[in-house]
Structure 1
Amino acid sequence: MYDIALVLMECYQIRKRGRFIINTFERQKDILSIIEKLDISPTLFKNATEKYKALAKYLNDNGLEADMYPQGSFAIGTVVRPNVKNPDANYDLDFICQVRGTRDDYSPSKLRELIEEKLSSSDLYGGKLETYPECFTIEYASINGVGFSIDIVPAAEENAENKKRLREKCNYPELIEDSISIPKQNSEKNYCWLTNNPKGFRTWFDSINAPFIEASKNDFRNRFFQNNRTIFASVEEIPNDLYRSALQRVIQILKYHMNVYYFNLTNGDDVKPISAIINVLAARIASGYDPYVTVFDLLEYVLGELSICAQQQDLEYKNFIQNYGERKCLSRADGKWNIPNPANPEDNLADRWNKDAKIPYYFFRWLKAVRKDLIDSLNVEDEQVFRTALENGFGEKTVSSVLGKKYCNDNKKPKPIAVERVAKPYGSL
C-alpha cells in the first residue's frame, strides 16, 4: 500500500509558474468523469441484464434449450458509448446464445434458423428482431433518453476433437473447455463454423483484473454509492460487474479515444483495429504490474510498452529482441504481426495487420495521439490548449456534456487539431 502523503503528492503535482497553477489531479479527475459518463449506468446495466435473461427464459420455455451470457465489453466491464458523434447514443451489447449440444449436432445455417424462428414467432420479440450476417439484434426502448440493443450471436459447444487440438497449442489449456462454435458467413453467402471462446477470455481477463479490482474496491464502491444513492441502499448492493479498476478505465479511455480518432480519418473504418486488440494488449501489459497504480500511471505505462513494440516496424525482429527484449503481447517474428488470443491459440488478432500495412501504421500513430491528448496535455499551462486536447480525444460534444465550458477561453480558442488525412497508401511517412 502506498504512503498516503506520497500518493497525494504524486496525484496533485501542483506546480506554480508565475501566478498560474497547474492542477494535474483535477485534470485527471475531469478525464475520468468523462469516461464515467460514457460507461453504462447502473439502471441501464440492470435493465439489460433483466432483458437478456428474459430472452433466455423465453427460448427455454418455448422448446429451445439455450444459455445466454454476455461477451465482449459488457462481459469484462469496459463498455463505452459507440457513437462518437452523439454522447447520448444507444449502447450496443453483445451476447452469446449457446444452445444445448455441440457443433456436430447442427449445421451453422440450421442453428441460425432455429433461433431466428423462435424469436420471430414471438409477439414480444418478433416485431423488434433485425437479422444480420453475424447476429440477430433486438432494439429496446430508451429510459431517460438512453437505450440499448442486444446483439444475439448463435453458438454451440465446440466438439471434443477440436478442443483436444486447441489444448495442445494453448498456453492456457484450462480455458479451452469453454470453447464454442459460431456461424460465420463466408464469401458464398452461406455459413461455416468459427471457433470462439468468450467465456474463456473473460476468465483470463478477470484473473489479471482481480488484483486491480481489489486494490481500488473500497474507494470505488464508496464513491460509486455516493453518486447512486437513489439506486442502491448500501454499498453491498452494488453488483460486482459494475466495479471498475484502473485497468478497466484504461481500456475504456483507449477504446473511446480510438473511436474518435478513427472516425476522423478518411479511411478510418478500413484501418481501425478491433477492440479485442485493446483488451488483450492492455491486460497483458498490466499483468504483473503494481495493482495499486493510478489510472493515468497505468495508461502511461501501457503506452510506453506499446511505443517500444512500435519499434518492430523498422527493426528486424532479432535486432528488436537484442535492443528491447521479447514482448509477448505484440510481436513481429518472421515479418508477421502477432497478437495471440489467450483463449484461442488459432486466433491471431493481428491477422489483418499482415494483409494491410496501413493498419499497424495508423495504430502506432494513434497511440502517439493518445499520449499527446491525455498524458502530455496534463502539464500544459494554457487551459484552453488542455480543453482542445480533450476535445481531440473525446469529441467536443462529449466533453461539453460533462465539463460544460470549463477550461474554455472564447477569446483565444485554438482550432482543434484535425487528424491528418494522408494520401493513400501512407502519405508522408
Structure 2
Amino acid sequence: MNVQTRIPTTDEAAKTLEALAQELEISPHRYEQAEKSYRSLGDWLNRPASTIRQFDPQVHVQGSFGLGTVIPPISDDEHYDVDAVCEFRNLTKGQIAQEELKRRLGHEIRSYAASQGMKNPVEEGRRCWTLVYADGAQFHMDVTPGIPNAAEQRSRLAAGGLDEAFAGTAIAITDRDHPNYRIISQDWPRSNPRGYIDWFRSCMVKGREQDRSIALDSTEPMPDYKGRMPLQHAVMILKRHRDIMFADRFDERPISVILTTLAAHAYAGERKIADALFTILRGMDRHIVQQNGGALLIANPSDPSENFADKWVKRPERREAFFEWLAQARDDFEHVAVLSNEQLIAEHLAKGVGLDMAYRAKKRATRGFAAPTILTGGLVRNEAQARSSAVQLHGDRRNA
C-alpha cells in the first residue's frame, strides 16, 4: 500500500468491510455472561463473611472486553479471555506484601469457585488468578489484584516530564517474578487499565467532541458496546487478520495492545469503517518512535514510562513479525478496496480473515447468497490451518 495516498474504496468493498466488522462482534449474550460473572465475583468478595471485605475490593474489567474490541476465537474450542482487576481501595503498599495480597485474594476466589460449583480448579498465573468456567461458557477470567497508586504515579511521571493525564486511576499490581514479591516494599509493578480505557475512549470520539449523540458511560461497569464506533471495528478487523496470519506462529504475533494503541493513535475520526481502517493502516507505524541506539518505543498512553515494544530488543523476531504483518495487512486490504465484484471481494478477503468469516460478511453485505462449495485450495488450507492451530493453542495461554 502506498502510505502517502488514500486508497479509493468501492462501495461494494466498503459495505463488505462494514459487514465483516459486524460479523466479528460477539453476541450480547457473551458480554452479559462475562459481566454477570465478574459482578458476581465482586459481590462475593464484599459479602459479610468475606475475609478481605475490610479492604474494599472492587472488581472492574480491563482488556478487550473493557475496550469493546473483543472478537470471536478462530476455533470453538478456544476460550474468550475476560481480564479483570480486583483493586483493594483500603490498602497501601506499606501495609502488605504482594505475595500476601495475592494469597488473600486467591483464598476468596477458591471459595467463590466452590460456592458456584465450578469443577475446573482455580489456576495461579504470574500476576493473576484464573477462573476457568465450564466448557459451554467458553471463557475464563483472569483476576489481577491491585492497590491504588495514583499519587506515586503522578509524582514519578512529573519528575520525568511525562504526561500525567491518566495517572488518577493508576494501580500497583502483584507479580511473583518481582524481586520484592515476598516483602513489604514501595516497589511494585505498575499498571493502569482504567486509564488506558479512558485514553482509548477519548480516541474513539476524535473530531466528534461536540456531537451530543455520542455518550460514553463510566468504565466501572462493563461498557455497553452494542453500537460500536469505527475505531473499535477497525481494531477488531486488524486483530482477526493478525490471528489468521499468525495461527501457527503464536509466539511471534503482534500483541493486541500494540495493535490497539497504534490504531487509536492513527485514527483520525473517520465516520466509516473502511475509511478508518485504511487511515489506520496508512499511519499506524508513524507512531512508533526510534530511540537513541535504534530501539523502538510504543509508549503506554496511560503510563508513558512503559514501552509496549520493550520485548522487541531481546526478541527481534517479534519486531520483524509486526512489520511483516503490517505490510501484509496493507496489501490484503488494498486488494479488497478496489474490487466491486462481491465474489472476488470475498475470495480476496478470505486470505486475510478466514474463509468462513469472509463469506459470512459477503452474505450479510449482499443479504443472501449461496456460498460456493469449492474454492481455491489455498484458501481452504489456510482456514484449516488456522483452526487446527487455534485448537492446539487452547489452554496454552499467556502466563498472566
TM-score, reference length from structure 1:
0.72
- Residue pair 1:38, 1:80 contacting (<8 A) in 2 also: yes
User: In structure 1, what is the Cα distance between the partners aligned to 2:211 and 2:372?
Assistant: 35
- 2:378 pairs with 1:415: yes
Distance in 2 of aligned mates of 1:26 and 1:219 = 27
Which of 239, 252, 270 is the aligned partner of 2:236? 252
Return closer, same or farther for 1:165/1:209 CA change in 2, 3 Å cut-off. same
Quick check: 1:186 aligned with 2:172? no
Cα RMSD of the aligned pairs, angstroms, is 3.5
Identity across matched positions, percent: 26
* Matching residue of 1:223: none
- What is the DSSP-based 3-state SS (H/G/I as helix, E as strand, rest coil) of the residue aligned with 2:147? strand
- Cα–Cα, structure 1 residues 187 and 50, in superposed 2: closer, same or farther, change >3 Å? closer
Offset of residue 174 of structure 1? 2.8
Q: Quick check: 2:12–2:341 contact (8 Å CA) kept in 1? A: no
Aligned positions of 1:282-297 closer than 5 A: 282-286=263-267, 289=268, 291-297=269-275
The alpha-carbon distance between structure 1 residues 63 and 12, as it changes in their structure 2 partners (threshold 3 A), is same
Q: Residues 92 and 149 of structure 1 are in contact (CA less than 8 Å); yes or no, is this contact kept in structure 2?
A: yes
Instruction: State the SS of the aligned residue for 1:93.
Output: strand
* C-alpha spacing 1:60/1:369, structure 2 compared with 1 (3 Å): same
Q: 1:406 to 1:183 in 2, by over 3 A?
A: farther
Alignment pair present for 1:105 and 2:95? yes
Secondary structure, aligned partner of 1:97: strand
CA-to-aligned-CA distance 1:51-105 (integer Å, 9 cap, x gap)? 2112111101114220111111111111112x3234x744211110111312222
Q: Deviation of residue 402 (structure 1)? A: 5.5
User: TM-score by structure 2 length?
Assistant: 0.77
* Match in the other structure for 2:199: 204
Matches within 5 A, 1:292-371: 292-306=270-284, 309=285, 327=286, 329-334=287-292, 335-371=294-330
Q: Is the 8 A contact 1:384 1:407 kept in 2?
A: no
- The structure richer in helix per residue is 1
Question: 1:188 Cα deviation (Å)?
Answer: 8.2
1:250 partner letter: A
Contact residue 258 and residue 366 of structure 1 kept, 8 A: yes
Tell me: CA distance 1:340–1:219, structure 2 relative to 1, closer, same or farther (3 Å).
Answer: closer
2:333 to 374, 378, 381: 374
Q: SS state of the match for residue 364, structure 1? A: helix
Which amino acid is 2:107 matched to?
Answer: E
| Unmatched segments (≥5 aa) in structure 2 | 1-5, 216-222, 384-400
Q: Which has the higher contact order (CA 8 A, sep 6+)?
A: 2
Deviations 1:379-404 (A, max 9, x none): 24675553333222222343455657
Partner Cα separation in structure 2 for residue 413 and residue 381 of structure 1: 20
2:45 matched residue in structure 1: 59
Paired residues of 2:85 and 2:144 also in contact (CA < 8 A): yes
Counterpart secondary structure, 1:415: helix
Cα deviation, residue 113, structure 1: 0.3
Q: CA deviation at 1:183?
A: 1.2
